[in-house]
Amino acid sequence: MDLTEAFMQGYNAQDPQIDNPYLWSSPNWMAYAAGGQFAKKGTSTPTKCKASRGYTLRVFSQSNEWLATSDKGLVSWSFDRRG
């Protein structure tokens, strides 16, 4: 499932924890929330985001692939470089 649009909306949001317009815990909600936290990492701009298993997303930038994983409460995200 392509979640790039929701991820980029969160990435560009002023306050993604408050402004998330999607239904809580939906794939779009998770992508939006992850996008907001990914923006704080200071890495290159993402180009694509796809759903993975469970509470995990695959985020692609121009030079890397990241595995975005949420805690069980969907509060914080960790980003591990894959490539």
Q: Which residues, at least 6 apart from 11, have a Cβ–Cβ distance to it below 8 Å?
A: 35, 36, 38, 39, 45, 46
Residue 60: partners with Cβ closer than 8 Å, 6 or more residues away:
46, 47, 48, 49, 50, 66
Q: Which domain holds residue 25?
A: 4-81
Which two tokens mark 50?
A: 């796809």
Q: Which of 60, 76, 79 is nearest to 68 (CA)?
A: 79
Domain count, the chain: 1
In a structure prediction context, what are the per-residue pLDDT tens digits for the chain, which is 83 residues long?
999 999 999 999 988 778 899 999 899 999 999 999 999 988 889 999 999 988 899 999 988 999 999 998 888 999 999 86
